[in-house]
Amino acid sequence: MSEITTSGPSDSALEIAAAVRAGERSAVEVVDAHLAQIEAHEPAVHAFNVVMAEQARAAAADIDARVAAGEDPGPLAGVPVALKDNMCTNGVPTTCSSKMLDGWKPPYDATAVERVRAAGAIAIGKTNLDEFAMGSSTENSAFGATKNPHDLNAVPGGSSGGSAAAVAAGFAPLALGSDTGGSIRQPAALCGVVGLKPSYGAVSRYGLIAFASSLDQIGPFTRTVADTAALYDAISGHDGRDSTSIPEPMEATVPHLDDGVAGLRVGIISELFSGELASGFEPEVLAQTRAAADALAAAGATVDEVSVPSTIYGLSAYYLIAPAEASSNLARYDGVRYGHREDGAANTGGMMTASRTAGFGSEVKRRIMLGTYALSAGYYDAFYGKAQRVRTLIINDFDRAYADYDVLLSPTSPCVAFPFGAKSDPLTMYLNDVATIPSNLAGHPAISVPFGAGRDGLPVGVQILAPMLKEADLIRVSAVLENAAQESAA
Ligand code: GLN
């Protein structure tokens, strides 16, 4: 097993920003240190589709000039941030790791990108993903897979595998990813970093290339819980350019980092821990989840198991709803409105067919076919309609659980990082998302926090779930788990 995470810059984003704001460290020096780490290890990891070296150096020089002029460039001043390559970046190629969008340069920044920049962070590159964010291993990228920095023979998870690997490898202390069914939390777990999926509507989706619009959310990857809190606070909040953006002000999470868990009621989701479904989870993953529950109890929380019965149908409902929405969202890539164009066909229909055939990879085509079928007349009620009813059941079951519990706990992923090619049939791959999907269907926030090691010493993540807009509770619980994990490793 070759591992590279032990080298390179390890300062947290908050440490870097404090030093840059105080004029003790230059942002240019910070960026250069991270670019040096990228130069040394990116060929082995392949976290990026594009490294924005020149733009990053120029942005860093600007931050330094502002500090010298007595300005405060913001809470993330001078901190490199890696951006999943499905977020629009003005003038910088944005591909979704698809041949369909290869070479496309958006004329604007996504709101989340705009906000990290406004907070002083410096975009350092665009990260690799499963094509159009469909996958759980980053093996579906049209530009080659990303490797897990903890074991270069294993996947980093997906679909935001490049963002998770970039943070784990010391390429950037911060990254943004998107999570439709687990694509932030699962790669965070497999790469040993923190990953937060915010409440649906907490972070603007403006400029995020749509996969399944009722599920997609942008969120942070970091090495520390405090950095996740700071990055979430920077990107969350209302945006008039996203019609599903929540108008009410979001609660800041940073002030809750040290709240602790005394008196907090924690429920372990039994379906994802002791039920039949969980019998397929790796025993080490379940053992670490138990250890995390014990750590919370030791810190003053009350911990019980609670049943959230319809979670077991989440996977089936998701793999109808998400492909249905994707089939509609991806209709725009027809060689005319957007995307790759194959010329030479006899007519427009032929050109569109040829363009889509050449531009999309096989998993994307599978989803488009699944979704089109689920939405077709005659099957709509039986598949799409039924899945939407399951979605309502899941929301109701969570509401019942949250009447008695403040937060819920489960493993993030059934397994640790697996070897390339190990899950070659789609169904086996889809099973990776069984623990993460329910919170997307409900719209609730959830976080993955590294907690110890599993098979072959690879990182394990535990997932905390909370009701709508209770990100602050996720942060306070995560901070306790982070401490406990460090203590037991020491
Ligand atoms: N792995 C899931 C899928 O393939 C989730 C993807 C995501 O969250 N973007 O659809």
Taking only the tens place, the pLDDT of each residue in 1-12 is: 455 554 578 899
Strand order in the sheet with 122-127: 48-51, 122-127, 80-84, 174-179, 217-222, 194-197, 446-453, 459-465, 407-411, 265-269, 302-306
- Quote the pLDDT of residue 1: 46
Please answer whether residues 173 and 291 qualify as being in contact, where contact means their C-beta atoms are separated by less than 8 angstroms.
no
> Cα(86) to centroid of ligand 1, in Å?
13
How crowded is residue 460: how many other Cβ atoms within 10 Å of its Cβ? Answer: 30
Task: Find the farthest-apart pair of alpha carbons in the chain and give their distance in angstroms, rounded.
Answer: 71
Q: For residue 471, report the phi and psi dihedrals to the nearest 5 degrees.
A: -55, -35
Q: Of all atoms in ligand 1, which is nearest to the CA of residue 363?
A: 4
Question: Which among 433, 434, 439 is the best mutation to test ligand 1's pocket, defined by most ligand atoms within 8 Å of the CB?
Answer: 433
Position in ligand 1 atom list of the atom nearest CA 429: 1
Is the predicted pLDDT of residue 210 greater than 90, yes or no? Answer: yes
Segment 407-450, tens digit of pLDDT: 999 999 999 999 999 999 999 999 999 999 999 999 999 999 99
Mutational test site, ligand 1, from 183, 190, 362, max ligand atoms within 8 Å of CB: 183
8 Å CB contact between 240 and 147: no
Type and span of the H or E element at 175: strand 174-179
| Residue 84 pLDDT exceeds 80 | yes
- Greater pLDDT, 4 or 228: 228
If 0-12 CB within 10 Å is exposed, 13-18 middle and 19+ buried, where does residue 22 land? exposed
Domain-wise residue ranges, the chain: 13-255, 313-386
Token pair for residue 345? 């066909």
55-66 pLDDT, tens per residue? 999 999 999 999
- pLDDT value at residue 6: 42
Task: Give the Cα separation of 117 and 78 in Å (integer).
Answer: 10
Among candidates 181, 178, 191, 185, which has minimal Cα distance to 235?
Answer: 178
Is 136 a known active-site residue?
no
Q: Residue 4 has what pLDDT?
A: 59
Structure tokens at 488: 């037991």
User: What residues line ligand 1, using a CB cutoff of 6 Å?
Assistant: 133-136, 159, 178-183, 211, 322, 433
Mean predicted confidence (pLDDT) in 319-337: 97
- Rounded to whole angstroms, the Cα distance separating 439 from 407 reads 12
> Could you give the residue ranges of the DSSP H alpha helices within 127-244?
161-168, 185-191, 225-235
DSSP string, 83-139: EETTB-BTTB---TT-GGGTT---SS--HHHHHHHHTT-EEEEEE--SGGG--SSST
Q: What is the pLDDT of residue 7?
A: 57
Mean pLDDT of 127-140: 98
Residue 217 reports pLDDT greater than 70: yes
Q: Which pLDDT score is estimated for 213?
A: 98
Q: Whose CA is nearest to atom 4 of ligand 1?
A: 135
Q: What share of the chain is helix, strand, coil (3-state, %, to 5)?
A: 45, 15, 40
C-alpha 284/C-alpha 166 separation (Å) is 25
Tell me, in angstroms, the distance from the centre of ligand 1 to residue 278's CA. Answer: 20
Catalytic residue among 26, 136, 141, 159: 159
**Are the C-beta atoms of 373 and 383 separated by less than 8 Å?**
yes
The catalytic position among 84, 126, 147, 423 is 84
Best residue among 86, 129, 130, 437 to mutate for probing ligand 1's pocket (most ligand atoms within 8 Å of CB) is: 130
Q: Closest Cα partner for 79 from 171, 13, 166, 10?
A: 13
Distance 164 CA to ligand 1 centre (A): 14
Cα-flanking dihedrals φ and ψ of residue 125, to 5°? Answer: 170, 170
CA of 231 to the centre of ligand 1 (A): 22
> Is the separation of the CB atoms in 458 and 154 below 8 Å?
yes
For the chain, the straight-line distance linking the first and the last C-alpha, in angstroms and rounded, comes to 23
CATH fold for domain 13-255: Amidase signature (AS) enzymes (3.90.1300)
**Average pLDDT of the residues in 245-254:** 96
Instruction: Find the 348 Cα to ligand 1 centroid distance in Å.
Output: 32
> With contact defined as beta carbons under 8 Å apart, do 319 and 390 qualify?
no
DSSP code of 384? I
Return the bridge partners of 266, or none: 303, 407
pLDDT classification of 489: cutoffs 50, 70, 90: confident
Place of tokens 């069984």: 434
Count the helices and strands in the chain (H runs, E runs).
15, 11
CA of 135 to the centre of ligand 1 (A): 5
Question: Confidence band (pLDDT; 50, 70, 90) for 490?
Answer: confident
The mean per-residue pLDDT over the stretch 468-478 comes to 98
Query: What DSSP line would sit under 269-315, residue for residue?
Result: EGGGTTSTGGGGS-HHHHHHHHHHHHHHHHTT-EEEEE--GGGGGHH
* Length reported for the chain: 490
- Ligand 1: atom nearest CA of 318 is 10
Peptide bond into 159 cis (omega under 30): yes
- What letter does residue 240 receive in the DSSP assignment? T
Spatial separation of the C-alpha atoms in residues 129 and 96, rounded to whole Å: 7
Ligand 1 closest atom vs CA 136: 1
- CA 33 and chain centroid, separation: 25
